[in-house]
A and B are shown apart, each in its own frame.
Chain A
Amino acid sequence: MREAAIYRLRTPPSGAVNYPYLIVSENINQPGDLLLIRDFYKVKKELKKKIKKGTGLELTVSPTRKMDGSSVGKWFKSLRELYAFCHASRCQFILSSGARSEYEMVSGPCLDAILKVGGIDPENHWRNLGEWIEERLSRNVSYA
């Protein structure tokens, strides 16, 4: 177990645990703390109907590595629109690396650069995300 790490779990732990965690889901019908968005345009209509206020909507950077220029452009458009959607529906926009190894990890300044290119103010984004995480973790506290 690593200090200062927040664990991403698919299902809530059955008993009390010694670590902070968030429940991650890819299914709109069973959203946890975080809902992973693979293609925003495919799920937009459903999201409008079903998403609960305060849910985190997560977009990952990793799929863009394999995309060509025009697809990356569209991805940036979806990033902007998802951010606006989160703002309107009082959800939390989350941009993460989607890394599966240390070589795919993305540094803070790189995420800032992606946010800026996407027209999002990084400072504001990280502040809101920090507040959201604190609020979410306080709900999930179940220390053994």
Chain B
Amino acid sequence: MLKRRSKRRYLSIKHAGEPGDSVNAIIKRFSELFGSIAAEKANIRLVQHAENESIIKCRLEQLENLLVAITLMDPPIVTIGMSGSIKQLRRRGSRVVGTK
């Protein structure tokens, strides 16, 4: 049987401060709202970042919860775009360059 890779979504976000800190804050808020198990399942990771703008990824099945967690962040974080591939996200206008 084929072992398929789980589907994921890439999100372009705009934030204040360090990208790593912002992603940790998102994971913390996600755990607070939906629980640690859901947060682990979401597998939220920082993929690329530029000044005040980053690309993060998560598992598709937890996308809605992630969007809610991002919306309820303080200080605010804005979701700019969302796609199944980084390439498509860039095409849609994300300014994030290829720095990991």
Smallest CB separation, B66 vs chain A (Å): 8
The reply to whether A103 and B76 contact each other, CB–CB distance below 8 Å, is: yes
Decide if A130 is an interface residue (CB 8 Å cutoff): no
A114 contacts chain B at the CB level, 8 A cutoff: yes
Bound Cα distance from A69 to B30, whole angstroms: 9
What are the residues of chain B within 8 A of A106 when measuring CB–CB? Answer: 71
Name the segment of A25-33, A58-66, A84-92 touching the other chain: A58-66
Contact check, B68 vs A69: say whether CB atoms are below 8 A apart.
no
In this assembly, does B97 line the interface, its C-beta being within 8 Å of a C-beta of chain A? no
Contact at B78–A61, with CB atoms within 8 Å?
no
Cβ-based interface call for A110 (8 A): yes
Bound-state CA distance A109–B71 (Å) is 10
Contact between A117 and B71, CB atoms less than 8 A apart: no
> How far is it, in angstroms, between the C-alpha of A66 and the C-alpha of B32 when the chains are bound?
13
Candidates A68, A102, A105, A114; contact of B68 at CB < 8 Å: A114
Q: Which residues of chain A in 26-78 are interfacial with respect to chain B, using CB atoms and an 8 Å cutoff?
A: 61, 64-69, 72
Residues of B within 8 A of A68 (CB): 32
Please, what's the 1-or-0 string for A82-115, where 1 marks a CB less than 8 Å from any CB in chain B?
Answer: 0000000000000000000011111101111110
| Chain A interface residues toward B at CB < 8 A | 61, 64-69, 72, 102-107, 109-114, 116-117
Q: Which 8 A-B pairs have the closest CB atoms?
A: A113-B67, A65-B74, A69-B32, A113-B64, A110-B71, A110-B67, A104-B76, A103-B76
Interface residues, chain B, CB within 8 Å of chain A?
14, 16, 32-33, 63-65, 67-68, 70-76, 78-80, 82
